[in-house]
Amino acid sequence: MARKPATSVGNAASRSSSKRAAPETPSRQSKRAKAAKKSYVEPESDEDVEYAGSPSSASLEDGEESEYDAESGKGVETEPESDHAEPSSEDDSKPAKGTPRGRPAKRTVLPLHKKQRDEEELWKSGATLTPGTTVVIKRPKAREAGSVPYADDTIHHNTMLFLKDLAAHNDRQWLKAHDADYRTSLQDFTTFLESLSEKVIEADDTVPELPVKDIIFRIYRDIRFSKDPTPYKTHFSAAWSRTGRKGPYAAYYVQIAPGGGSFVGGGLWQPEASALSALRHDVDRKPHKIKRVLTDVGIRRAFFGGVPDDEKKAVKAFVNQTSNQSTALKKHPKGYDSNHKDIELLRLRNFTLGTKLSDEEIVGAGGLERVAELIACLVPFIRYLNSVVMPDGQSSDSSEDDEADGSSGDDGASAEESHA
């Protein structure tokens, strides 16, 4: 018989070994390695989560040490290896118990970050935390409404509390941490404005129905040219005119603030040069028009403290309004004589009326009616300003004005001669 070449057998053996690896014989482990495996206990809560490295870093250290001992044969009794793997014992098949035998395994467990500071400190920029630490901050909730629920036609007491807190903590971090209170208070004021807008339109039909976004002022302050660095206003406010809160027309203004800082008023605040010139010209030529408005019974009662029906006293009360007096000229305006009989009105740069309200007047069920009452008293004043600054055309009372102009024509002529 022909003999098979010996090289074929070797090649076959090499091919078979390269295609399929020989089955690994499970190595025996030391008792310390088995104890380390049994000592691992699953955490029962989220607080036992390890954040500094691998979750099983401690058990791997023991496992590596025991495997090295097993391979080196130090301190471990070995038995001759057999062709078959040793069957696992009953102890190995049982689930791991919470109390292991032998030396307990080392465990490095970092619990969840327990807040050692106030939540407000964690919101601040530059807060230092250990790398790998998880911080869970509860989202702040708004104040409870209490026994008095929120209503669309009232200002809630919590809104005043929020504005009071904002005045004491006027910074971005605080407002960010109390965003829920801010949103709730802003919504309370917004719904109040929707109800108040109906009252304003009823009192003055020249004011159109506008969405709240066109009449409400933002809470953010413009601090670019201000010495006061506080970023937020400490009040909510809105204004109604023919073009909303902005535009050339005279407007009704409402502001709510705690501590008696609420305010209802209206007029022209810092008007443009052309509008201010028109008002001064009207005061010079037709002073009876503004004096007739200022002596209106509603205006005298609501804004002048109930002064008598006297033109001089009414004019003095109007000029002494804080917003008017604070910006008035010290001398006579250019083009007018310093001895003009209505020089006090000509010096004005603001033409406004207003009065403050206590918290009791603005908060609760009676607040809407109180504000609506004051706005109704302002209607003659607002209409007069608009008729001068932005006239619609020939007014219905033009004949009366012409007659009044005739009676005061001499005064007007003498004033013009003095200006020339």
323, part of any domain:
yes
pLDDT given at position 65 = 44
Within this chain, do residues 143 and 261 fall inside the same structural domain, yes or no? yes
- Higher pLDDT residue, 7 or 124? 124
413, part of any domain:
yes
Q: For a pLDDT cut of 70, what percent of the chain falls above it? A: 63
pLDDT given at position 121 = 64
355, part of any domain:
no
| Degrees to nearest 5, angle at CA 51 with 46 and 55 | 85
104, part of any domain:
no
236/416 Cα distance (integer angstroms): 45
Within this chain, do residues 206 and 285 fall inside the same structural domain, yes or no? no
Within this chain, do residues 119 and 168 fall inside the same structural domain, yes or no? yes
406, part of any domain:
yes
At 37, is the pLDDT very low, low, confident or very high (cuts 50, 70, 90)?
A: low
405, part of any domain:
yes
pLDDT tens track for 191-204: 999 999 999 999 99
Within this chain, do residues 185 and 220 fall inside the same structural domain, yes or no? yes
pLDDT given at position 364 = 93
Out of 205, 238, 269, pick the residue that ends a domain: 269
At 285, is the pLDDT very low, low, confident or very high (cuts 50, 70, 90)?
A: very high
pLDDT given at position 332 = 93
Q: What's the average model confidence in pLDDT over 355-367?
A: 96
Contacts of 242 (CB under 8 A, 6+ apart): 206, 207, 208, 249, 386, 390
At 399, is the pLDDT very low, low, confident or very high (cuts 50, 70, 90)?
A: very low
29/23 Cα distance (integer angstroms): 18
Within this chain, do residues 236 and 206 fall inside the same structural domain, yes or no? yes
pLDDT given at position 50 = 40
User: What is residue 116's three-state secondary structure?
Assistant: coil
pLDDT given at position 133 = 75
pLDDT given at position 299 = 97
At 21, is the pLDDT very low, low, confident or very high (cuts 50, 70, 90)?
A: low
55, part of any domain:
no
Q: How many CB atoms lie within 10 A of CB 211?
A: 11
* Segments forming the whole domain that contains residue 142: 113-269
Range in 70-84, 186-200, 350-364 the model is least confident about: 70-84
Within this chain, do residues 170 and 195 fall inside the same structural domain, yes or no? yes
13, part of any domain:
no
Range in 27-36, 361-370, 394-403 the model is least confident about: 394-403
Is the pLDDT reported for residue 44 higher than 50? no
Out of 269, 302, 329, pick the residue that ends a domain: 269
Is the pLDDT reported for residue 222 higher than 80? yes
**Cα radius of gyration (the chain):** 43
Within this chain, do residues 406 and 334 fall inside the same structural domain, yes or no? yes
Rounded to the nearest integer, the mean pLDDT of the chain is 78
Within this chain, do residues 324 and 186 fall inside the same structural domain, yes or no? no
Is the pLDDT reported for residue 398 higher than 60? no
Within this chain, do residues 155 and 249 fall inside the same structural domain, yes or no? yes
Within this chain, do residues 281 and 337 fall inside the same structural domain, yes or no? yes
Contacts of 405 (CB under 8 A, 6+ apart): 285, 286, 412
- Higher pLDDT residue, 258 or 65? 258
The encoded tokens of residue 346 equal 């000509």
Q: What's the average model confidence in pLDDT over 315-336?
A: 95
Out of 269, 303, 333, pick the residue that ends a domain: 269
DSSP codes of every residue in 132-199:
T-----PPP-PPP-TTS---TTS--HHHHHHHHHHHHS-SHHHHHHTHHHHHHHHHHHHHHHHHHHHH
- Higher pLDDT residue, 370 or 50? 370
Q: What's the average model confidence in pLDDT over 242-262?
A: 96
Is the pLDDT reported for residue 223 higher than 60? yes
Q: How many domains is the chain built from?
A: 2
141/64 Cα distance (integer angstroms): 50
Within this chain, do residues 264 and 300 fall inside the same structural domain, yes or no? no
At 123, is the pLDDT very low, low, confident or very high (cuts 50, 70, 90)?
A: low
Within this chain, do residues 236 and 127 fall inside the same structural domain, yes or no? yes
